[in-house]
Amino acid sequence: MGESGRRPDREGSRVKAAVEGGRGRQKAVEGKPAEPVLWGLVGNTPLIPLPPSTAFARPLPPVFLKAEWFNPGGSVKDRPALFILRDGLARGELPGKRLLDSSSGNTAIAYAMLGAAAGIGVTMCVPANASAERKALLGAYGAEVVFTDPLDGADGAIRRARQLAAAHPERYWYADQYNHPANPRAHALTTAEEIWRQTGGRVTHLVAGLGTTGTLMGTGRRLRELNPAVELIAVQPDGPFHGLEGLKHLASAIVPGIYDPVVPRRTEFVTTDDADALVRRLARKTGLFVGWSTGAAVAASERVLTALDRLLPSTALVVVIAPDSGDRYVSEQGRLAGERR
C-alpha cells in the first residue's frame, strides 16, 4: 500500500502508511555529503497496517508494524549502529582503532555493513548459535567475528567483548551498545519522530521488545514527551532459555545500563512457541514474513487489544516495532514449519 510520493494511504485517519523511503532518504543523503551515501539510507521505514482480526467479537483498534527490515542492513539496529559510529568518529577513536562490541547478530551486521562503507574495521563477539544467515552476512561484510558459548547467550558475548577491550585498548574502541547513550538517542531522534509523523500524532500504544532496550527507551521517552498519554508496552521472553534472538529475559541477564524500568507501563512475557506461531500466521495470512522477536511483539499487542480488563477506546492506534524480517531465519526450516523441537 502507499506511494513513493508519501501521500497518506488512509486520508480519513491521516495515517501515512506504506513505503516512506524515497524523499526523506534523499534529503538525508544530500545533507550529509561527508558520510557514505549508504549511511543516509538508514531510517524512514514504513508503517504497515495489519489486517483487522475477525477472531474477536468486537472491532479492535488498528495495529501497524514499524517495518524496520526496510533499513539497508535489514534491521532496526542500523539506527543505533549509525549513531554509535558517528560518536566514535567524533571522538577520534575511529577509524584508527577497530570498533568492538557484542551482539546477538543484528547490531553486528549493522556495524559491519556501515563500517565497510566507511573503511572502519569491525570486530564482533556473537553467540555461536546465531542464525546461519547472520553468520553469512557478517562474513560477506568482512567483519572479524569472535563466537562465544551459545549457552552463555548475549551475556557471554558481552563478557568476551569486555575482556578483549581491557586486554587490547590500543587496538579496539569498545562501543558497548548496551550502555551507550547514542543507542536510545538514535531512536528518540529518528524512530519516534517517524512514528509521530506517520500516524499524524495519533499513536496511543507502542509495543517493543527488550534486548539492548534502546528502542523502547529512546522511542518511548520521546513519544511521551509529545503525548504523555502514550502507553509503552515492553516485551520479554518468558524465561532465560528461549529462542527469541535479540530479546533478553532481564531478570536473569546483565541489565543494560540504558534501561530504566519505570519507562514501560507494563511488560508482557511471551513464550517462544507463541512467538513462532505468530510468525507462521503472519506469513500465511498477511504475506508478512517477520522475525521471531516481531512475532513476540505482535503476540503481546494482541493481549493488549483483547484483555477484558483493558478495553481500548475506538481512537486507539497501536504501533509494534518489527525489528527484522524472517529472511534471517529461513535456515530454521523445522521451526518455520511448526515442528516440535
Residues acting as catalytic residues? 77, 293
In this structure, what C-alpha cell is assigned to residue 87? 560518536
Q: Is the peptide bond before 95 cis (omega within 30 degrees of 0)?
A: yes
Per the CB < 8 A criterion, the answer to whether 116 and 99 are in contact is: no
Q: How many helices (H) and strands (E) does the chain have?
A: 11, 10
Looking at 26-92, which runs of residues are DSSP E strands? 47-49, 63-67
3-state secondary structure of 333: helix
Amino acid at 313: P
C-alpha 167/C-alpha 205 separation (Å) is 44
C-alpha 6/C-alpha 112 separation (Å) is 31
Q: How many CB atoms lie within 10 A of CB 21?
A: 17
Q: Cell numbers of 304, please? A: 493488549
Task: Provide the pairing of β-strand 172-174 with 98-102.
Answer: parallel
Q: Is 12 exposed, middle or buried (0-12, 13-18, 19+ CB in 10 A)?
A: exposed
Directed axis angle between helix 106-118 and helix 78-90, to 10°?
Answer: 50
